[in-house]
Structure 1
Amino acid sequence: MGLRYVSLTVMAAAFLASAGTVQAQLEELRQPEQKRSEAGVLNMELRCRMDAVTVAGKTIQARLYNATMPSATMHVRAGDTLKIKLINDMPPNEDQDLPDQGNYPQRINTTNIHTHGLNVEPDGYADNVLLSILPGETVDYVIPIPSDHPSGSYWYHPHHHASTMPQVMSGMAGFIVVDDEMGKTPEDLYNIPDVQMIFQALTYHPNTMTIPWPKRSGAGFGAYSGTVNTPIVVNGMEQAKLTLRPGEIRRFRMCNALNSDIVRIHLKRGQGDTARALDVTEIALDGIYLRRPMNRDFVELIPGDRSDILVQAPDDGAEYWVVMDHYDQSYRFKSSRDLVRLDISGEPNTMQMPTALPVSFAKGDIEASEITGHRNVYFSIVNSDSVGKSTDTTLITRVFQVDSMPFNHDVTNMTLKAGDVEEWYITNDSRGFHPFHIHVNEFQVVGVRKLGSSDSTVIDEPVWNDVVMLDTMATTRIRMRLSDVSGKTVMHCHFLGHEDMGMMNVIDIVPKTSAIHEAPWTEPELFPNPAVGRYTTVRIHVPDFLNGTPVDIAIHDITGAVVHKRTVTGGQETMVTLDVADLTAGTYYVLVRGGRNYHESSKLVLIR
């Protein structure tokens, strides 16, 4: 359940023989406005403002880009420059001058923009989610797309902490498509037209028909008390039709732009008791092509996900529907709905179903021999009484944390080096699911292990993701080949309410030339979230791939002097214990080296 295996190819299609009442009521599936780069530049103006939009029969005052839902699709190519003039025309924040509420919804008309999935610079006026753009302000973003950037389906949305959820749940979202290039893409795939589908729902209060200003609540989720959500819609429509000719193929680009709901998409032939589910075929996940087209029972999209599927229409005279199954954030089934009816008519236009896909990354899968370091990352929800509620009045009943720390705009929680290859063990020690997302880099999931179990699920053919669902009480193992971009960015839970409540950390990706591993004691900001306590021992994890390799472990003081050293053989011990009982109080750095590339450093604070 925690890993998405998805897809949708119609190896059969649909001809609707009758023209009944239901058919007459269905409109063609609307498509977003398409904006394309010219001479290597795409100029976009996005005006954020309150506008009326009708969704599922309800007229809602919503926060939108350019008064549309979804917003226009931005088409770029690798090597282009994306220029966005972001104009914040939303009303002034009612709480702008009130005291800061910490990790709690507030100032919901302050904004910025995130180009989700793009491997671009995260600082300055590029994909910088730490910017705060107040009502009345305008910012000109300039985002160069790397010349080797993979083609694929990406998206954009607001990402200002504490106002992300209400803005996305007002409809502020749109596709970014890095277009395929002729000559690098099989011709039969290159010529398939797109159908873009964004899944959204709007939050509003029935009395005001808009999202209210958040009110302080100790429980946290009472910030928008009394609100309800519209039904999930695709491109703003509850139900639609898609007209095809027999034999035609369409590429469905699908995006889950919901706060915390999960959708599963499948195809069925017929309706009622005689309906039959059909397999679907997926060609890309989170913008990255798979090894080959894959047949699945259904396509699952968790929040932030994209999936590309191929749909081909035959002429057998049957009725076909694209069906959406809706699950909440705990994977409880909510509803099922016939979403898009395939209307097939006209002269046949037989197209060839692709059998080969482009290669997104020339280096291929991440091998164990490439890994330069590993990290343990923890997603947790704790009772605020255990983390100092008595001295921090901004804390709510539950505190959402990454690595034992809620979000702090001014604290760098982790430092990475551009070009490194890392393996992370991400533990979700809560009883709720959390979709893990990291900005400006993708990763591969290679294994999952339930806490307390010695058995691991190993993924032999990992796929590329930029969002993955962390199973409850489990550790998910990922590998990440960091791109060349550098700057401060974030990782977080993509349940946007959790992110607004603090389940996010700041990451500083330093350039390749930085010596963050060789002399960490010269950079005190490297690890600002250390383990703190009265230690007599520390434990260091030795990853499995160093089996049989000598591993040197050294503790340095702040001058760089070695105060403790030990050498072990990888594989004999996965957790190595170091005796620090004789070390005085202070700050230390633990440096681990093994094999050809592996080197990891961690900050340790001893309090006596």
Structure 2
Amino acid sequence: MLIQRFMFERFSIAAPRRPLCKARILSAALLALAPLSASTSAHTQADAQKDCARPLPGSVVADPPEVRSHNGVLQADLTYSNFKAANGQEHYCYWDTSGADSPTLRISPGDLLILHLKNELVAASSNTSKDHETSMAVSDPCASARMTALSTNLHFHGLTVPPVCHEDDVLRTMVQPQDAPFEYRFRIPDDESPGLYWYHPHTHGFSNPQVLGGASGALIVEGIERANKELAGLPQRVFVIRDQELLHPDAEPAATGSMPPPPVLRDAEGEILNNGSGGGKPAKDLSINFIPVPWPDYPPAIIRVRPAERQVWRVLNASAITYLDLQILVENKPQSMAVVALDGEPLDENGMTPDRILWADHVFLPPAGRVEFLFKGLPQGAQARLITRSVDTGPAGENDPVRPLATVIASEGSPEPASRLGASPAPLPHSAAVWLGNVPPVRTRKLYFSERPSDPGAPNSPTVFMITVDGQTPAPFDSHAAQPDIVAHQGDVEDWVIENRTQEMHAFHIHQVHFMLTRWMGVQVDEPFLRDTINVPYWDGKSARYPSVTLRMDFRDPNAVGTFVYHCHLLEHEDGGMMGTIRVLPKNRDSY
């Protein structure tokens, strides 16, 4: 199938692979006995919250805790805190009133979300003193725009809610530690696509360390079984994959035979560069539902399933900078995954082709990408592995080698999944909107990623990251700029050509709207589904033509009116300046 081949092979730009070494896989029987949490029986809930406690490697994967809407309202109180662990890593946590960390928010189209966010961040140097915050005057969070390491806000990634204060504004809304709990209040649009979204902080200059420290959670708009009846009544699992600083940065590589390990080289920001081998030390460790899978042995987490049980797996790449190329191996052979949604959008062409499934043996996810698929099940006693294949991010990119994430074990004693999809779903109403692929664009714009050293005379100085509208002068994002980089009108549909003029991959993301891929390297493609994040391949440094994607941008929704951002979702790049603003004006208005 052309769509399947293009989507899952063209976008999987991977380095040569090597088999996983046995020394890197611990015994599943031993791992099954590992504790679920790093906290001990003497460790109170309050202590766990204070410490941002995380599970131990090799633990059994439980679904994240949940907060569900009731009677059309989802109400939650989240306290945002941080803690510097003994190994020097900074952890960030969203605690709800029950003591759950980073709960999944489950809400239906048309529901009202009311979320109170209390900022209790403290200076990383102490974790115990609030002298800094108490010296600051109380501010108006809607007009503060004061971006510091202790400032925060929330971005509801993928939702089509307005970019205004109390909803999804990240340019002006900044909550400080001394502020009262800040209220987010908005209604999920009636026509919001059912699927997997997520929330995370979006303070320019400080997003990378916070998301790297665990500041993220899933958000699910219910009803995906209404878009695809094949999912009706099935149990569902939520897996949030995050990256983090290496737990054992000085460890020697695991035994790999006679081949010497590839050299470890670093970029100007200190990240481990891609070595092109498919192995070696990664730039970051990965975790699954906060269970770390650390270098160099990669002890996998444990996913328990019932024999022959089909499940809907909802996977979020909440990494700050790490690409994933997910694959399920049974006896070292890929098991096909039935993909039903990407980036919160069912693959149903706006309802015109319901129940669509794309079969793939691996799924490529850039940072912020999401996939929902049918896990086909395993026979009694069988084991499988969930891995990420190696990703060639380019000579200037980070090293993302092949590594396991979890061992999947089928046994009768496995617990029943906590959540199931509706057994008798009513089909989604047919959308009155014309399918985006059938709407001609009113204009075409070109944007491009570029980089330069901060000191032109010192090539190894920290990198300045930029995304520029063709014809404008390249410059890093300026949060104080009075004018947006792009002005459009509500109702417009545009084509954006995104070029990559650097030697590392970038993940383009835009707030408030989704888009459709129409061309890859200038060649027309047929991808009848939408995204909000997409990879742009790296430049080889010598070709006369830069790699590019062409995206059909959709500004028809009235919720897109306002000023919001687009950026690279490798958050180190976003924090370093690779972000721009777009102002969508109301119809027939030249200003507002």
- Matched letter for residue 30 of structure 1: A
**Which one of 264, 282, 300 corresponds to residue 339 of structure 2?**
282
Deviations 1:383-424 (A, max 9, x none): 5567xx99xxxx955353433232112321111212211111
Partners in 1 of 2:195 and 2:403 — Cα distance? 28
User: Are 1:85 and 2:116 an aligned pair?
Assistant: yes
Report the Cα distance in structure 2 between the residues aligned to 1:461 and 1:481, rounded to whole angstroms.
15
Q: Which residue of 1 aligns with 2:54?
A: none
Say whether 1:476 aligns with 2:549.
yes
* Residue-pair matches, total: 464
Is 1:174 aligned to 2:217, yes or no?
yes
Q: Is the 8 A contact 1:492 1:503 kept in 2?
A: yes
Q: 2:563 aligns with which of 481, 484, 488?
A: 488
Deviations 1:32-90 (A, max 9, x none): 11101112211111111124779xxx695412111889610001111112111111101
Consecutive unaligned residues in structure 2, runs of 5 or more: 12-26, 35-57, 126-131, 137-145, 250-266, 273-281, 294-299, 349-355, 539-545
Cα separation, 2, equivalents of 1:70 and 1:324: 25
Report the alpha carbon displacement of residue 336 of structure 1 after superposing the two structures with TM.
1.7
Partner secondary structure for residue 8 of structure 2? coil
TM-score, length of structure 2 as denominator length: 0.70
Aligned pairs for 1:16-55 (under 5 A) are 20-25=29-34, 27-51=59-83
TM-aligned CA distance change 1:120 to 1:324, over 3 Å: same
Show the counterpart of 2:503. Answer: 431
Cα distance 1:44–1:20, how it changes in 2: closer, same or farther (>3 A)?
closer
Paired residue secondary structure (1:497): helix
Residue 313 (structure 1) shift: 1.8
Structure 2 residue 236 is the aligned partner of structure 1 residue 194: yes
Q: Is 1:380 the equivalent of 2:434?
A: no
* 2:95 equivalent among 43, 63, 66: 66
Distance 1:264 1:359 in 2: 34
Structure with greater strand percent: 1
Which of 199, 202, 207 is 1:164 aligned to?
Answer: 207
- Distance in 1, Cα, partners of 2:342 & 2:536: 17
Residue of structure 2 equivalent to 1:244: 305
Secondary structure, aligned partner of 1:221 = coil
Write the distance in 2 (CA, Å) between the matches of 1:169 and 1:360: 40
**1:278: Cα distance to partner?**
2.3
Contact (CA 8 Å) 1:289, 1:357: kept in 2 or not? no
Counterparts of 1:359 and 1:340, CA distance in 2: 39
Q: Does 1:299 align with 2:299?
A: no
Alignment partners' CA distance in 2, 1:385 and 1:22: 49
Whole-Å separation in 2 of the counterparts to 1:204 and 1:314: 32
Counterpart for residue 221 of structure 1: 269
TM-score normalized by the length of structure 1: 0.68
Q: What SS is found at the alignment partner of 2:210? A: helix
Contact kept in structure 1, 2:391 and 2:401, CA below 8 Å: yes
Report if aligned partners of 2:158, 2:513 keep a CA contact under 8 Å in 1. yes
- Quote the sequence identity (%): 26
Equivalent residues in 2 for 1:516-555 (5 A)? 516=590
Q: 1:220 to 1:308 in 2, by over 3 A?
A: same
| Cα distance in 2 for residues equivalent to 1:2 and 1:409 | 40
Residue type matched to 2:379 in 1?
D
Distance 2:501 2:392 in 1: 20
Change (3 A) 1:315 1:399: closer
Equivalent pair of 2:308/2:380 in contact (CA under 8 Å)? no
RMSD of aligned Cα (Å): 3.9
Paired AA for residue 504 in structure 1: M
Counterpart-to-counterpart distance in 1, 2:427 and 2:527: 16
SS across alignment from 2:558: coil
Decide whether aligned partners of structure 1 residues 466 and 369 sit closer, same or farther in structure 2, where only a CA change above 3 A counts. closer
1:415 aligns with 2:487: yes
Q: What residue identity is the alignment partner of 1:289? A: P
Per-residue CA deviations over 1:128-181 (Å, capped at 9, x if unaligned) read 111222222232111221111111100000001011001101101000100007
| Cα distance, 1:475 vs structure 2 | 2.2
* 1:576 matched residue in structure 2: none
- Aligned twin of 2:164: 123
For residue 546 of structure 1, what is the aligned residue in structure 2?
A: none
Equivalent position of 2:579 in the other structure: 504
Gaps (5+ residues) in structure 1? 8-17, 99-104, 208-218, 450-455, 517-522, 526-608
What SS does structure 1 have at the residue aligned with 2:238? strand
For 2:247 and 2:381, locate their aligned partners in 1 and report how far apart those are by CA, in whole Å.
44
Q: Is the alpha carbon distance of 1:509 and 1:337 closer, same or farther for their aligned partners in structure 2, counting shifts above 3 Å?
A: same
Cα distance 1:202–1:361, how it changes in 2: closer, same or farther (>3 A)? farther
1:97-145 deviations in Å (ceiling 9; x for gaps): 99xxxxxx98322111100000001112110111222222232111221
Moved more, 434-443 or 252-261: 252-261
Structure whose CA Rg is larger: 1
Letter of the 1:50 counterpart: N
